[in-house]
Amino acid sequence: MSQSPTERFHLAPAPDGLQVVQNLLNTRAIDVYGLPDLIADGEAASTTWETPLSDDDAAVLRTLRANLEAALAGELPPIPAVSVELIPDTDGIVRLSPTGSGAQYIASEIWSEVLLAQKADTWRRLKRCKNELCGSAFYDRSRNNSGVWHDVKTCGNVANLRASRARKKAKD
């Protein structure tokens, strides 16, 4: 990827392999910023992932993205299992290895990274911006994991100003 989906929001990537998950989440079209869906079809998906992908693969990736969004919200519906290989190294360390090709490989890689992030307790820090018009995925680096905006200056200020005006109006 020349510019990752996350970089188009000027965000720092999530640590380790979780940035792959963040990148998939940030492929969504965001009209308020004039950003297109980076997996709208096979051609766009192939450019984004730098691997040949068909229109069917792009459809699978869009479903995967929706499932990840649901997982972040704690509302993941039942989905089919994804295959990975467990490979013991000669030093006794077992590692996950994605399997398949095309969208199946990407799904295997994504869910492997979700598992590793859950084990490392970093999954809870991957969030979607609270601004419904934005919804970009960001990694919350705040000490108490309380971030809700991908960027306080853009999305946060607008919402905070509206809330402040509403409180002031209610007070009057």
Phi, psi (rounded to 5 degrees) for 116: -65, -40
Q: Which two tokens stand for residue 129?
A: 């911006």
* C-alpha–C-alpha distance, residues 128 and 27, integer Å: 13
Helix (H/G/I), strand (E/B), else coil: 118: helix
Q: What is the pLDDT of residue 54?
A: 98
Q: What is the pLDDT of residue 159?
A: 66
Q: What is the pLDDT of residue 52?
A: 96
Residue 35: beta bridge partners? 30
First to last CA, the chain: 52
Q: What is the mean pLDDT of each run of 10 residues along the chain (172 residues)?
A: 83 94 96 91 96 97 97 92 95 95 97 96 95 90 86 72 75 74
Please give the domain boundaries of the chain with CATH numbers for all domains.
Answer: 7-171 (1.10.3300.10)
* C-alpha–C-alpha distance, residues 45 and 33, integer Å: 20
* C-alpha–C-alpha distance, residues 95 and 86, integer Å: 6
Give alpha helix (H) positions in 13-156. Answer: 18-25, 42-49, 55-72, 102-119
